[in-house]
């Protein structure tokens, strides 16, 4: 019997701004930024700024990209400024999801100099990390353009920053996988260790029925380490499994799974995962899969170089 709970929102249908509001509501954003500022300012505050800058000094600054990329983190930066530099006025030149070139202005700032300097590093840390995720996602998305494949993130995120990372992936043109363990069922190899393919499929069918009755799930997905495992999963009744995750398969094996899916489970979507690289993603996409999940988007993206250039008071 299906769960009576409301179905989770379709995150893919939300714009990046709407997704941010859904994942990071204002109280959570304020708390996250407060923790980050406390980490930098401690109990004493900015002792250098206090010693070097008069309390009444005002200044101007521009946050610029020092490399080409896709911007993300502007809304977080605005909250950093609100907490660390009250009274600062900001003009946004490149909102989240904007493409920038080296030297482009992202934000123009004007306000209390001590506050600008206190906010600087926390603001840039957020923007550099999140823009790096967006930039790497955009590169992968461009490489699979023209195929049916979407680029997805994973749960391999910095603890405490997952919701911002999910937003950053969307800003780069990617699609979000499940948010956590709570919103979708994903049967991994450790859940079915030691089971032969037929027994694995039977166990999945029973567990999926229980999970759907107890929870409002976004989807049910099963990891398959071999074509034989996938063949067993594809033989389950339609609607039992929404997605099959084809783990660490090469393009010929992926293409074989696509043929099996098309013949026996046309409603099932196929997701490739495992060690996906810039130089391999196109061949994986051309095998005919629907989704490619890439942990590197959030665990290995280089930060985009952004800097604050401050004018003298």
Strand order in the sheet with 58-65: 89-92, 105-112, 58-65, 306-310
DSSP result, 44-57 = T--HHHHHHS-TT-
* Confidence check: pLDDT of 5 > 90: no
Q: How confident is the model at residue 12 (pLDDT cuts 50, 70, 90)?
A: confident
pLDDT tens-digit map of 35-87: 999 999 999 999 999 999 999 999 999 999 999 999 999 999 999 999 999 99
Task: Give tens-digit pLDDT for 245-299.
Answer: 999 999 999 999 999 999 999 999 999 999 999 999 999 999 999 999 999 999 9
How many CA within 13 A on the CB side of residue 147? 20
Q: Return the pLDDT at 10.
A: 81
pLDDT tops 90 at residue 234: yes
Q: Which CATH number is correct for 12-141+302-310, 3.90.1170.20, 3.40.50.300, 2.60.260.20, 3.40.50.620?
A: 3.90.1170.20
pLDDT, position 231: 98
Q: Given this model, what pLDDT does residue 13 score?
A: 86
For residue 1, what pLDDT band results from cuts at 50, 70 and 90?
very low
Comparing C-alpha atoms, which of 292, 245, 244, 239 is closest to residue 267?
Answer: 239
So which residues are the catalytic ones?
121, 156, 188, 223, 247
Rounded CA-CA distance 57/54 in Å is: 5
User: What is the predicted pLDDT for the residue at 194?
Assistant: 94
Put simply, whether the predicted model's pTM sits higher than 0.85 gets the answer yes
CATH number, domain 143-299, options 3.20.20.70, 3.40.50.800, 3.90.1150.10, 3.30.300.30: 3.20.20.70
**Rounded CA gap, 148 and 227, in Å?**
21
185 in Cβ contact with 242 (< 8 Å): no
> What's the pLDDT tens digit per position in 102-158?
999 999 999 999 999 999 999 999 999 999 999 999 999 999 999 999 999 999 999
Spans of all domains in the chain: 12-141+302-310, 143-299
Range 215-228 average pLDDT: 97
Determine the Cα–Cα distance for residues 132 and 69; give it in Å rounded to an integer: 8
Integer distance in angstroms from the first to the last C-alpha of the chain? 67
**Vertex 259 angle, CA 273 and 189, to 5°:** 35
What is the per-residue pLDDT for 228? 98
* pLDDT 10s digits, 164-189: 999 999 999 999 999 999 999 999 99
* Alpha-carbon span 163 to 159, nearest angstrom: 10
Any idea which residue has 């037929």 for tokens? 198
Instruction: Kindly give the interhelix angle for 74-84 and 113-143, rounded to the nearest 10 degrees.
Output: 170
DSSP letter, residue 175: B
Distance of CA 128 to the CA centre of its chain: 14
């Amino acid at each position: 019997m299906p769960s009576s709970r409301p179905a989770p929102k379709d995150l893919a249908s939300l714009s990046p701004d709407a997704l941010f509001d859904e994942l990071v509501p204002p109280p959570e954003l304020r708390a996250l930024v407060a923790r980050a500022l406390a980490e930098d300012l401690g109990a004493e505050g900015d002792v250098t700024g206090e010693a070097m800058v008069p309390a009444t000094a005002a200044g101007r600054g521009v946050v610029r990209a020092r490399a080409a990329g896709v911007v993300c983190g502007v809304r977080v930066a605005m909250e950093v400024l609100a907490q660390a530099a009250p009274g600062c006025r900001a003009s946004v030149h490149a909102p989240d999801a904007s493409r920038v070139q080296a030297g482009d202005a992202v934000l123009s700032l004007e306000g209390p100099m001590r506050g600008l300097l206190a906010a600087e590093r926390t603001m840039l840390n957020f923007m550099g990390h999140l823009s790096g995720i967006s930039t790497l996602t955009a590169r992968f998305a461009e490489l699979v353009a023209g195929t049916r494949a979407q680029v997805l993130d994973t749960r391999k995120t910095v603890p405490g920053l997952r919701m911002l990372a999910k937003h950053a992936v969307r800003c780069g043109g990617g699609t979000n996988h499940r948010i956590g363990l709570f919103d979708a069922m994903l049967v991994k190899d450790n859940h079915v260790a030691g089971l032969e393919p037929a027994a694995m499929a039977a166990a999945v069918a029973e567990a999926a029925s229980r999970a759907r009755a107890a929870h409002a799930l976004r989807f049910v997905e099963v990891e398959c380490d071999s074509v034989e495992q996938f063949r067993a999963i594809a033989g389950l009744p339609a609607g039992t499994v929404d997605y099959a995750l084809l783990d660490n398969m090469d393009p010929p094996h992926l293409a074989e799974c696509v043929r099996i899916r098309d013949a026996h489970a046309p409603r099932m979507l196929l997701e490739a995962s495992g060690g996906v690289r810039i130089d391999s993603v196109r061949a994986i996409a051309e095998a005919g899969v629907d989704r490619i999940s890439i942990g590197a988007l959030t665990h290995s993206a280089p930060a985009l170089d952004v800097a604050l250039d401050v004018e003298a008071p």
